Structure 1
């Protein structure tokens, strides 16, 4: 019989398809549920292959199973932008030419937007950048609570209030994971200082743990369905957090139902048996000398590598824990790398830059504006003096794991010049010299900030320039150097560095139209506040820093950000320093202040902050109507609505962040005076009135009763307080829980 080539091809194709339909393994067939695919893949792995899934093979990757077509896992810092590629076994960059990212604002700026939509946009954009760069896991966001203004990593977190952090973290996670990239919420848990961060043992009572330090992580798991969580460097009650039975097994897995992977912080693992039995899944960054178990592969020395295999082979440990860990890693891979329907992502795009700008603009906080000297009117201004190193210093390089190689970064000075020139002359004087460095892990800003002039010469020039200008804008604050806003070190004081306080005080004397822009991720002291008519909190705003700041200062955008943490007048007005303990002694830090973190402490002790939690001004004004309840009685299985009318009484459109606090009037255990339990950001046109509704149910009234080890809401009277900040309550009402 004669066959044509086409006939042979057709027969062979049919045969292959027939065999394929029968032989494709379940784990490769995405028509099956993920859990079935995970179990099928697990059944095909050798013990050695399972162990290989659990530890790094390079600085930022772990092995897959090539034999079965299961891909590697690739991690990336950080929460504010996708870190440049590093060498296989070093922190130094690999010097790629196509890994310059969009730098997004730091998470303090995102939290200051109080806007869930901004959080979702942030997550979607940064997740798309991670996906395009072929990353499996984005190591962020961070949700550790702002306990002390000295913490060097506060700029990476979402403020002092657990409710605000809980609400803001969820859409970020959902946005990232919509790209098929896992978010990795960090650092679990009570990681609130950099001093002795790898050894400090945090002692905190159960109620404070549950009410202050865990809610944002719980929301990430149960509402955000996050796929990964990173353990913290510190100890908690004597055990390192990266292998902590209570945190990882009891709370995270058993109570909250987490089914993702627990990733160690880099170098956060300390013992093989602890790691096996106390909740860790993936080990990264462990230091090894590369001498034992083969000098050619130091990663074989990891605690969850050859030492684990040795214990299994000797019969000292079983494989039940190994299977559970491998199952979690496989589930991560199926959710990400083996999801054929995930998008391809995009990187360094104009759209992402515009999202970064939008977030930055919404996060900038107008702290003070006496005499309405802001916004600047370009039509009535001839010359503006810009003074301060932070007007020109690039801030995307440095600060630790959030250091980036940005595609571009518009400085505040350039942003103002682009917006105002040639109609307004913008002159610059440095005023002070701070950190002239601009290199981190071989990533350089390319700036030469060296200046040999004396402090007296710099100040004299600044004062002369200020005297000759219509407006003076001082742009200073902190930077991302050691002992400022940076991973690895805490600040040494709350004061501004580089003698800026003296310079600001002198500038305030020579020009009444004086604006201070503070760039930081932390509160700073302001001894000159009474002599300074306008103060703006700018944060680390990323690629679009200058554009966003200029838009606020000249009024193209009406400021709407509000503080996600309190600004104490002095360090002793912060509870960790006044009543608690920082940074601890003899390797232990005790959170003696308990629940009284941030505004809770100020309320309880009648301490007047410099700027309150939730504070932020606008170029328009808002009037609050009377709070109205749909019912004066709340049943335990019901809900009531609290409504308040907000009227824009100014002459320009603006957005107000309406905050709802609840106060328990009588409780069997001590409670804070009030606690944030709702917020909404609403845009209101001039003369317009909008009604803002809040749903109140029993979940908002609960506290953790450590006598019963459960959340309870006790019957009785509750006050509802609605206002523009924690200290600016505009209207109150009350109801009874029955």
Structure 2
């Protein structure tokens, strides 16, 4: 151990104290040993450091910081170097705000388009997500602080996220859901990782020895710190044994006592605790070094311009019929849509950033040379229908040459803590579009949302620019693309299905009760659509440009592929060339093609550039569940270079020697997986893939409620009071949505409805403890008076204990 001497001077109580938070955002300090507190702050796309009134839902404002485009936006840039630059800027702002650990980036896969937190994740592809995340991490950590890649792992739904059990086969876990983390650890060298809330195959992720010890620390060699998601600790001692060093936020010493007792009883070896403390000290001391130097304030203007450049490079042009874009000079424009005035530029929840500057499209139009003839909001932001607004918008549209229509998803639809109900944009926006089409068919849609949406209306628009969630400078970036000052180069990092029902996980998302089953296995996103020949609206990797590119002269060797790209148009631009690999053998079921490399190249008109993409350790591998390791199947492999997953421009092949591993599968037992028709896999076949029985997916309504049951389960409680509370909460949620208070309704769903009972203690920073939760559970389970008495008695004990601790702390301070 690096800090054995310091640890030898600690009491058992001091060691235990370091493994839990000091308050909502800080780790514990030990002044007598020179150990300071670390400040951990949300920050996937901007620093969210709260000076006071801390919360984890984004309810209270934070110190102003640059709001960069979200991860879902930046992934469309397909630019690893740009990710590193963003990381540098984020790191500088974190240092300026005295943040030790920046909680991001998030690399969970977009298994399903409806996951409420998809705006915070990069892609449906682990290779792309991992590469860009590694860039972020290198940039952040180059400033002397730590990134914290999250949420480890298979956290792909928000509903019941603190209790849901994710049931997934080992191969799928490794190939799809862990690969991005692997790249973040090995290439980004992240100093910390945040564990996810959910269970994985029966055990909570931060207690799961298989992923925490066997894979993370054993195979990947990770020697940093694992932090729980806020309130995500179930059994604190089990977490420490697995190697989860830090629990956040504070539990006011409650779990420290559990650790002390576990050491004394022999359940937890003190050397295991010492190792955890050693890694915590390493993170604390190394992230403190930067604060010993003179600190410089960051330039708000410089960082704002960087946010704009990132947004410009991430905008995706999805449609450009009749070359309606870029907008010609002198064109009379009608600007319509509420989002033009009040931009949708970031997600909602723990990642909400208080921007230093914020542009909207209307202000930007005043500075530009566009001939705007007026603006109308056209629709109510949160879905309420308004005929008068549509009529006013249509009157304006009649006078224009082109309509710029700003539409998308609102903040209440995409939010941490709850999943979307469907893939549609609000009906009142579609009604507006339909009405505008009747009076003027020259419509350009500017779309703002953080995830895929259905577009049954797309034939009624001639131009479509998708800005995703472009951050504080996104409006100006969009205007520059509209004007042709910037040639769009973004390409989709996720597939857009025609209908939500086309997704492979449609029948198994979300898990509503005990578990969620990943019956589709490795077939998510383009891996499914391309292999099963499902028609899509826009394929993975798709994006248009104001110029054209030709692909030429492919050459393949055992370690790389080389080819040429020519800009055959008249405008300078950047092209994202994508390397896909497909195995010719059908002995082991695999997707038709998988992304294994990419390169973004800027090319002037008429210029030709040579591009080389090297093969790496992930190019030909698959995970063999029989040998329990990565293997290579001996076969010819198709090497495909494409402008998207469905626009393959060059094809060659290479023969690769295999590792002679036994085939782990019996084709006859897994017909759905070998045919890729996985949208309706039955339980028997899924069990053959898993190698064991599927656990019960429904609540056992006969059992009493426990710590890890959610408030939603109170509908089955034996106690009348708990059932009454459930119906009151449900009514409040319904009523708030009915009167248009959707954001407030969401808070009920996020912070109450899906919260497990243990969260009452884990998320309140010592206001409540587990003995008090015992009393609440007694009430829920039908013992009202006994439970109430227990609750009040334990509350009084806690209050007295806190007063005693405060008095002792005051004496120590004075001495």
TM-score by length of 1: 0.86
- Could you say which residue in structure 2 is the equivalent of 1:213? 177
Deviation at 1:431, TM superposition (A): 0.9
- Equivalent in the alignment of 1:480: 411
Aligned-pair CA distance for 1:41: 2.5
Query: What is the deviation of 1:512?
Result: 3.1
Counterpart CA distance in 2 for 1:698 and 1:128 is 33
Question: Within the alignment, does 1:259 sit opposite 2:178 as a pair?
Answer: no
- Stretches of structure 1 lacking an aligned partner (at least 5 in a row): 1-34, 287-297, 437-452
Q: Which of the numbers 285, 297, 306 marks the counterpart of 1:355?
A: 306
Equivalent residue, structure 2, for 1:457: 388
Counting only pairs closer than 5 Å after superposition, residues 295-306 of structure 1 correspond to structure 2 as: 299-301=252-254, 303=255, 305-306=256-257
Tell me by how many angstroms 1:697 deviates: 4.9
Q: Match for residue 366 of structure 2? A: 417
**How do 1:58-69 residues align onto structure 2 when only pairs under 5 Å count?**
58-69=23-34
| 1:99 and 2:52 aligned | no
Q: Which moved more, 1:331-340 or 1:535-544?
A: 331-340
Runs of 4+ in 1 over 6 A off after TM superposition: 92-96, 340-343
- 1:281 and 1:428 map into 2 onto residues whose CA distance is 54
1:131 maps to 2:95:
yes
1:121 to partner: Cα distance: 0.7
The 5 A counterparts of 1:214-253 are 214-253=178-217
What residue in structure 2 maps to residue 116 of structure 1? 80
CA shift in 2, pair 1:109/1:345, >3 Å: farther
Match of 2:19 among 45, 54, 58: 54
Distance in 2 separating the partners of 1:153 and 1:110: 15
Tell me which residue corresponds to 2:447: 518
Asked if 1 retains the 8 angstrom alpha-carbon contact of 2:145 and 2:290, the reply is: no
- Contact preservation (8 Å) 2:56, 2:349: no
Counting only pairs closer than 5 Å after superposition, residues 15-164 of structure 1 correspond to structure 2 as 36=2, 38-87=3-52, 99-164=63-128
Indicate conservation of the 8 Å contact 1:565/1:614, yes or no: yes
Counterpart in 1 of 2:660? Answer: none
Q: What is the SS of the residue equivalent to 2:124?
A: coil
Alignment pair present for 1:435 and 2:382: yes
- How far is 1:730 from its partner? 0.9
- Residue 152 of structure 2 is aligned to residue 201 of structure 1: no
1:549-569 CA-to-partner distances (Å, cap 9, x unmatched) read 101111110000000000001
Aligned partner of residue 490 in structure 1, secondary structure:
coil
Give the 3 Å change call, closer, same or farther, for CA 183–722 of structure 1 in structure 2.
same
Alignment partner of 1:588 out of 499, 515, 519: 515
**C-alpha distance after superposition, 1:607-656 (max 9, x if no partner):** 11100000000001111113222x4xx3xxxx2x3222111111110000
Q: 1:685 aligns with which of 577, 600, 604?
A: 604
For residues 94 and 503 of structure 2, the distance between their equivalents in structure 1, rounded to whole angstroms, comes to 37
Show the counterpart of 1:8: none
Q: Equivalences for 1:298-697 in 2 at 5 Å?
A: 299-301=252-254, 303=255, 305-338=256-289, 344=295, 346-347=297-298, 349-377=300-328, 379-381=329-331, 383-395=332-344, 399-420=348-369, 424-435=371-382, 455-481=386-412, 484-577=413-506, 581-629=508-556, 631=557, 634=558, 639=559, 641-697=560-616
Larger CA deviation: 529-538 vs 485-494: 529-538
**Is the counterpart of residue 280 in structure 1 residue 244 in structure 2?**
yes
What residue is the counterpart of 2:803 in the other structure? none
Q: How many residues align?
A: 657
Partners in 1 of 2:512 and 2:389 — Cα distance?
41
Aligned-pair CA distance for 1:425: 2.6
Cα distance change of structure 1 residues 658 and 671 upon mapping to structure 2, 3 Å threshold: same
Alpha-carbon shift at residue 352 of structure 1 (Å): 1.1
Query: Within 1, Cα distance between the matches of 2:57 and 2:566?
Result: 54
For residue 719 of structure 1, what is the aligned residue in structure 2? 638
Task: Please give the TM-score of this superposition, normalised by the length of structure 2.
Answer: 0.78
For 2:344 and 2:538, how far apart are their aligned partners in 1? 25
Contact 1:65 1:71 in 2 (8 A): yes
Q: Which segments of 5 or more consecutive residues in structure 2 lack a partner in the other structure? A: 658-815
Q: Is the 8 A contact 2:20 2:249 kept in 1?
A: no
Instruction: Provide the residue aligned with 2:706 in structure 1.
Output: none
Q: CA deviation at 1:49?
A: 1.7
How far, CA to CA, are the matches of 2:612 and 2:153 in structure 1?
A: 34
Aligned match for 2:146, one of 153, 168, 182: 182
Partner of 1:444: none
8 Å CA contact retained: 1:84, 1:93: no
Q: Describe the SS at the equivalent of 1:734.
A: strand
Distance in 1 between residues matched to 2:521 and 2:469, nearest whole Å: 30
Q: 1:202 to 1:343 in 2, by over 3 A?
A: farther
For residues 89 and 389 of structure 1, the distance between their equivalents in structure 2, rounded to whole angstroms, comes to 31
727 and 465 in structure 1: CA distance in 2 versus 1, 3 angstrom threshold: same
1:3 maps to what in 2?
Answer: none
Q: Secondary structure, in 3 states, of the residue corresponding to 2:262?
A: helix
Structure 1 Cα separation of the partners of residues 267 and 56 of structure 2 = 36
Note the C-alpha offset of 1:113. 0.3
* Distance change >3 Å, CA 734–CA 89, structure 1 → 2: closer
Instruction: Give, in angstroms, the shift of residue 497 of structure 1.
Output: 1.5
